[in-house]
A and B are shown apart, each in its own frame.
Chain A
Amino acid sequence: MLKRRVIPLQLWEKGRLVKTVRFEPGRDVGDPVKSSQVYSDQDADELILLNIGGMKDDLQLFSQTVKKIASCCFVPLSVGGGIRSLQDADILFSSGADKVVVNTATYLEPNIVTEISQKYGTQAIIISIDYRWSVGEPRLFSHGGSKEEDITLKKHLENIAGRGAGEIMLQSMERDGSMEGYDLELLRAVAARVPAPMILAGGAGNFSHLVEALEAGADAVACGSIFNFGDNNPIRAKAYLKNYGIQIKKY
C-alpha cells in the first residue's frame, strides 16, 4: 500500500535557507545544499525547495543550487517559487528537479500548467495554494502571500482541474512558523473535492501534529519549523508515526 510522506520544506532566499513566520521575513536556517544532504541522509521521503525571493533575478543562482542538490541527494526533489513560464520550468527540470511547484502562475497564466503537464506529465506538477481564513472563507494569495486574489477557492480548483495538476499543496499563511499545528479544516474540504494527492503545509510544531494531519486525510505533510526549531528529524518523526499506526516507507 501507498505510504504517507514526510517532506522537509525548505525556503531559499539569495543563497541561504530561511524560515518564515506567517510569511514574514525569517531566520537563517542553513546552507541549501548541506541541509538537503542532511535531510537525504535522514531518510526524508522527498524534498521541496521554494525560492521565496522571486525568480526574476535569481533563477540562475537558484537553478545552480538545484543542480548541486540533485547531484548529491538522490531523493525526489520538487522546486518552485516564481515560475512564470515553461522556460523557467525547463531550466529547473534540466537542473535535476523531479517536480515543479507552481502558485502565482496558476492565477496569472494558468496555461503554463497545461504546457508543463503536456511536456513533463501531470505528475511533475505540484499546485501550491497559499491561503488565509477571513470571515469563515478561505482567501487565496499569490506572489509569496503579498497579493490577495479575487477568486473563490471553488473556482480556482475548477480552473486547475482541467489543466493537469499532479498534487495539491495547501499552505496556511496564519499557521506558518507558528508550530501550533496544521489547519485541518481546509484540508478536509479540499480533499473531499479533488482527486489529487494532498500535501499539507504550515504549522507543524511536534509529531502529534503530523499524526493529526495524516489521520485527517493529508497524503503528505510538509515540514519547516518542526525540523529547524525542534529536536526532531525525519527519522524520529517516522518512528513516532509508526508507533501511532501511520504507514511510512519501509526499506
Chain B
Amino acid sequence: MKGALESLGWDPLLVSTPREITNASHLVLPGVGSFRTAMLRLKEAGLVEAIRGYAQTGRPLLGICLGMQILASWGAEGGGEEGLNLISGKVVALQTGPGIRIPHVGWNTVHLQSTHPLFDDTKNEVDYYFVHSFAFEAEKKNQVYSETEYGVRFSSAVGRENVFGVQFHPEKSQKNGLQILDNFCRWDGLC
C-alpha cells in the first residue's frame, strides 16, 4: 500500500497512535487478518475513539478489505465482535456453493451503483482484486456504491459522507485501482 501511494507521488505515513490519527489529512485503514483480532487490537491501542473522532471531523477516510469491514456495525468472524460502526451493516461469512470456493480470491467485477469521486476516471464493469472470506451487508441501499457477485451479490464499495470502504485491494488492481487511490488522496471528503 505504501509503495503504491508513493509511486503515485503521495507521502504516506504509517501511524499507530491516536495523536497521529488526529493530525492526518487523509486516513487509510488497510486490513489484514480477522475482524475480531483487528477490533480487539484497535481497542487495546485506544484507536477506536481516535478513528471515530477523525471521521466526525469530515476528513476523508478509506477502509480497504478488512479495513472496510471494520467500518461496519458488527462482524460475525470469530464469534462476533462490534465494529467501528461508521457505516451501518454487518459482516458475515461468504457461503460455499456450486462453483463457489472460499476464500473469494482473484479478480471479480465491480458493478458501480452510483457515482462517487473515488471512482472518477475509472472504468465501470471492470475487475479488481479480492481476497476475503467475509463480506459486507450494508443496511442502507444508498450507501452501497458498488456490488460484486460471488454466489451472492455483496457490497464491494460502501460510503457515507467522508467515509468510504472498498472490499477489494485497489493497490493490487492495476490502473483502475491506482486511480482510486489517487482520487482518494485528492478527495476533500465531500460527495
Interface residues in chain A, defined as those with a beta carbon under 8 Å from any beta carbon in chain B = 1-5, 43, 45, 70-72, 74-76, 93, 96, 98-99, 118-124, 166-167, 195-198, 219-220, 248-251
Contact = CB atoms under 8 A, between A and B. Distances in A.
B106 A121 contact: no
A219 B101 contact: yes
Nearest to A119: B33
A4 B106 CA distance: 7
Contacts, number: 99
Contact of A195 (B32, B96, B106, B126): B96
B160 interface: no
B103 interface: yes
Given A74-B7, A76-B129, A123-B131, A1 B109 contact: yes
Given A251-B126, A251-B127, A122 B172 contact: no
Nearest to A4: B106
A122 B133 contact: yes
A84 B176 CA distance: 37
Contacts of A98: 131, 169, 172
Given A45-B107, A76-B172, A121-B66, 10 more contacts: A1-B149, A2-B130, A71-B3, A195-B96, A196-B103, A197-B103, A219-B105, A220-B106, A248-B107, A249-B127
Contacts of B105: 123, 166-167, 197, 219
Interface residues of B, number: 38
Given A74-B7, A219-B101, A197 B106 contact: yes
Which of A70, A220, A249, A250: most chain B Cβ within 10 A?
A249
B42 to A, nearest CB: 15
Contacts of B140: none
Contacts of B133: 121-123
B125 interface: yes
A76 B103 CA distance: 15
Pairs A-B, 8 closest by C-beta atoms: A249-B107, A123-B103, A71-B3, A249-B127, A3-B107, A197-B101, A195-B96, A123-B131
A45 B107 CA distance: 8
